[in-house]
Structure 1
Amino acid sequence: MDWKAWQRRWDRQQERYLPYREQSFEAMVQCVAEAARGRGRVLDLACGCGSVTERLLKGIPEIQVVGVDIDPVLLKIARAPLRGRNG
């Protein structure tokens, strides 16, 4: 199954309801980057399909992100961007 495609589909759907979603993610990554100063671990509670997790890992590659969610299907989708990532 192409879990990455499911994540992209979710992101497109959410953009209809939250027009400034990407800008919010960018601001969030900047805040975390400032607080983490390029090191440490971030806990993404209720990570869903990993939209925030993926952006954190792209924006701050030095940090470790731990995603937690109650839904096992969403966790499978969230793991898609992590495939092949060291750490």
Structure 2
Amino acid sequence: MRSQIVLIITLANTLFNGVQLFAQSNSGSKGPPVPDSNRTPGGPPVDGMIPIDDNILILLLAGLILGVYYFYRVRATAKKVA
């Protein structure tokens, strides 16, 4: 059993380290590349402003509803068990 755990941990470390090597930048560059305003559709708008806060209230409301749903679901299953 111990040898299997050592093997799994070794494989996981090897795979994660390999992925991190691909994520490193080139030796001469500092930071991310400058965005190009002539991108295809789906890219950032031409003026450089990205609308992050447009529907944040809807996102918060959906998170609240989902949290209440999971709270009541866990509470209902705890009452059935007890």
Give the TM-score range, shorter chain.
under 0.3
Q: Which has the higher strand share?
A: 1
Structure with larger Rg: 2
TM-score w.r.t. the length of structure 1 is 0.24
Where relative contact order (Cα < 8 A, 6+ residues apart) is larger, the structure is: 1
TM-score, length basis structure 2:
0.25
